[in-house]
Amino acid sequence: MSYKKDFIKFMCESGVLTFGDFVTKSGRNTPYFINTGNYKTGEHIAKLGEFYAECMKEHNVDADVLFGPAYKGIPLAVSVAIASYTKYGKDLNYCFNRKEAKDHGEGGVLVGHKLKDGDKVAIIEDVITAGTAIRETLPILKNAANIDISCVIISVDRMEKGKNDISAIQEIKEDFGITVHPIVTILDIIECIKDGSIDGAQYLDKMLEYREKYGV
């Protein structure tokens, strides 16, 4: 679990993973919060790309294109492309979408690699809460070319029940046949609290209670 433990420490040091009393978008009271908007320096984004690239290597991801959904996915896809090349010698293509189609010049909604039939695409996201961004992304990719979605890579799997008592990640697998690979899960975070790798012992009981109530 070494790189996973390093990633969890990195999230804490970056102010991305914090403990306390929070309310999620779905109205649940949660003892931890993940705000990827707190990554803000060159060092942050460089390290982040390396963790994603390592996750891809761990799972033997077969992809030749990295797609970053606007907006948070854009710097992620770029950083993973850089890390894949500098760390593992894999020169991957990358692309991302515009929120609004460009109506001049070359036009279109995609920037970067021009998707073509047969491309194997890995979607690079931060977290998946309800799976909305992925559901919006798939038609964009499928309309561009007859591509193969290899997988989705995210930073953290909260492993929480959605509307149908399965997680958003499980819903994506069930609905689209796409596997989601998280760098870490909430169980990894709990384990790091237990072994003292990160601060948060005072929230351990609440973490376990939350997991018992909403976990899958």
Specify whether 5 is catalytic: no
Give the right CATH number for 2-214 from 3.40.50.2300, 3.40.50.970, 1.20.1250.20, 3.40.50.2020: 3.40.50.2020
Buried b (16+ CB within 10 A) or exposed e, 119-130: bebbbbbbbbee
pLDDT of residue 134: 87
CA dist 32 and 186 (Å) reads 10
Residue 135, φ and ψ in degrees, nearest 5: -65, -30
CA dist 175 and 169 (Å) reads 10
Specify whether 102 is catalytic: yes
CA dist 49 and 149 (Å) reads 20
Domain ranges for the chain, please list them: 2-214
The SS3 of residue 108 is: strand
Structure tokens belonging to residue 53 = 């690239």
pLDDT of residue 109: 87
Mean pLDDT per segment of 10 residues, for the chain of length 216 residues? 93 97 87 93 97 97 96 94 97 91 62 96 90 88 95 94 85 94 97 96 96 92
Structure tokens belonging to residue 27 = 């109205």
The SS3 of residue 152 is: strand
pTM: 0.93
pLDDT of residue 103: 56
pLDDT of residue 146: 96
Residues 6+ apart with CB under 8 A from 85: 91, 92
Question: Pairing mode, if any, of strands 108-112 and 93-102?
Answer: antiparallel
The active-site residue out of 102, 116, 142, 213 is 102
pLDDT of residue 131: 80
The active-site residue out of 25, 99, 104, 163 is 104
